Amino acid sequence: MTTAALRPVIVGAGPAGVRAAQTLVAHGLRPVLIDEASRAGGQIYRRPPAHFKRAPATLYGMEASRATALHASFDGLHTRIDYRPDTLVWNAQDGELDILHGPTRTTDTVPYGQLIVATGATDRVLPVPGWTLPGVFTLGGAQVALKAQGCAIGERVVFMGTGPLLYLVAYQYAKAGVDVVAVLDTARLSDQLAAVPAMLTQPAVFAKGVFYVGWLRAHGVALHGGVTPLSVQGDERVRGVRFEQAGRQLVLDCDAVGVGYALRSETQLADLLGCRFAFAPLHRAHLPERDAAGRSTVDGVYLAGDGAGIMGADAAEWAGERAALALLSDHGKQVDAARAAHLERKLSKLGTFRAGLERAFPYPQDWAARAPDELVVCRCENVTAGELRECAAQSGADEMNRLKALTRVGMGRCQGRMCGVAAADILADATHQPVHLVGRLRAQAPIKPLPMDMLRANAPGEGAGA
Amino acid sequence: MNWNPWQPLLHRVAETDRAPVSFTIDGVSASALAGDTVLTAVLTHGGQLRRNEFSGLPRAGFCMMGACQDCWVGTESGERLRACSTLIEPGMALSTGVDTGGLA
């Protein structure tokens, strides 16, 4: 196939998408790069609006050199790609993506010959009574507020959940002068100690984590491990957090809570594209299958970065480049085979560290059994744990899409992005099944809500005044 | 209930020397900074963006990255904006449902 016949489209301009675009450009292609954000960088290297003034070292800390390198690579590509910022993909079929440009509320279609899906991740969240109160945000959200808007989510903040982001965000907030009341980790110190050998396979990354924890401790931030979150308190906004530790119930006053339990892949687009999924025990999630190079089970569709499995930003850069090389070689272009093999080796070596992270910050599998019936699981449709349990008991629903049809869980605007993990745990607990057997919510177009007054580009006879 | 909906939820800790942008929240004049999202503009003044259709309770966003869809806010002309990914513009007239006292 000639270069002219290739029409690659990349979805997502984070670390994976940018490196994929750079690789395609280096081989003489001009990919389309679609990104929901206004500026490239993804969530981790998210760039504030252009006229903001903080230095990269302030914004990204120890990741500043990686962030600036990625941004510089993107800036060098800008005129050599078809870049579509502020644009979300809401449907995919028959070689076309349906897109929506947010600022103009205009929808259009983008044809693709090949597709690299680099859709990234959001926080994996578990509900607790009071989690819908104003003042509760995800850990990633708390970080976005600080990085991209120069705002803190409150004046006295508790960070709660587990995972490396818990300590990183707490550190960033404390550094910015915010009163971090406490870090409440469901993992125990013994979990973290047991994981040390595996974590030492990536000594630099491990050292950063140790530094954040040490810094927080040295600056008097209360760090509690082995915590069971009980509730966020307040009527119309956050007033405090109640939790249990070592058999004692404690309450902390605060005006905001950042919550998260590691990350969750954004897989809806891969699902619409017909990629085959499999349950990945390490990620505790159903993920699109891919080979070591990033090929999905659908011809011409490649997967890279956290959207296909949470492996972190460095891995996303390598996987983006590797997937682009696979796309090129699959379509008759000469690529550097040694480089491709090198990238695959680096990705494969990360596996031990990734398993170590899961050991250090284990998912609190027992939360669902303790969740009270009145707990709101689905933020959009206000569906409670009790309704889910009753549905399972009364109707015999033992699979997620059946549960969705009967209770509307996961049917709201977020399509289960915030409640899907939790609803699966509640259903698995209620039906005494392992969580992988309850299945996963199927993605349905539109995978993001569309405005009712959306305009269609290039449609004769239609337009702003029609 | 002694809740004051005009108590800010977000607090600026950096990047405060930006040009002001005038807009209104539920008919009240307010001032944001150029480069603020609608979410930042509203929540640096008050405590909610919308009310949940089913519970009637206030919501103020959650993920800040376009996934949770819990930050959609109305305008007086009837549009709905995803507040975390829409920049504030001069003259925007936003409606957060504060005065509805129930279902938005």
pLDDT along chain A (466 residues), means of 10: 77 98 98 97 95 95 96 95 98 96 95 98 98 98 97 98 97 97 96 94 93 96 98 96 97 98 98 98 97 98 98 97 98 97 97 94 96 97 97 96 97 95 98 97 94 76 40
Give the whole-angstrom CA distance, residue B41 versus residue A105: 21
Q: A396: burial class by Cβ within 10 Å (0-12, 13-18, 19+)?
A: exposed
Taking contacts as CB-CB distances below 8 angstroms, the residues of chain A near B52 are 132, 379, 382
Give the whole-angstrom CA distance, residue B94 versus residue B88: 10
Q: Which residues contact A317 (CB under 8 A, 6 or more apart)?
A: A15, A16, A18, A19, A70
Q: Rg of the Cα trace of chain B?
A: 13
For residue A96, list its beta bridge partners: A93, A111
Which residue type does A244 have? Answer: E
> At B8, is the secondary structure helix, strand, or coil?
coil
Report residue B6's pLDDT band, with 50, 70 and 90 as the boundaries.
Answer: confident
Please give the pLDDT value at position A54: 96
Instruction: Quote the distance between the C-alpha of residue B40 and its chain's center.
Output: 7
Check: CB of residue B69 under 8 Å from CB of residue A414. Answer: yes
Instruction: State the best of A155, A157, A236 to mutate against chain B, taking most chain B CBs within 10 Å.
Output: A236
Please give the pLDDT value at position A393: 97
Q: What angle do CA A445, A417, A284 make, to 5 degrees?
A: 115
Instruction: State the best of A132, A151, A238, A454 to mutate against chain B, taking most chain B CBs within 10 Å.
Output: A151
pTM, 2 dp: 0.95
Q: How many CA atoms lie within 13 A of A335 on its CB side?
A: 26
pLDDT at B43 over 90: yes
> At A392, is the secondary structure helix, strand, or coil?
helix
Taking contacts as CB-CB distances below 8 angstroms, the residues of chain A near B38 are none
Distinct helix (H) and strand (E) counts, chain A = 15, 24
Please give the pLDDT value at position A5: 74
- Going by C-alpha positions, the residue among A155, A157, A163 that lies closest to residue A136 is A157
Taking contacts as CB-CB distances below 8 angstroms, the residues of chain A near B62 are 132, 136-138, 141, 379, 418
Measured in angstroms, the CA of A414 and the nearest CA of chain B are apart by 5
From the list B59, B72, B85, which residue is nearest A134 (CB)? B59
Give the whole-angstrom CA distance, residue A111 versus residue A34: 12
Give the whole-angstrom CA distance, residue A82 versus residue B104: 40
Q: Which residues contact A118 (CB under 8 A, 6 or more apart)?
A: A10, A11, A12, A13, A14, A16, A17, A20, A303, A304, A305, A307, A316, A320, A323
Cis peptide before A446 (omega within 30 of 0): yes
Report residue B4's pLDDT band, with 50, 70 and 90 as the boundaries.
Answer: low
Give the whole-angstrom CA distance, residue A223 versus residue A307: 31
Which ranges of A28-83 does DSSP label H, i.e. alpha helix? 56-60, 64-77
Instruction: Judge whether A57 is closer than 8 Å to chain B, CB to CB.
Output: no
Q: Tens digit of pLDDT for each residue in B59-83?
A: 999 999 999 999 999 999 999 999 9
> At A417, is the secondary structure helix, strand, or coil?
coil
Give the whole-angstrom CA distance, residue A9 versus residue A170: 37
Tokens of A62: 């120890």
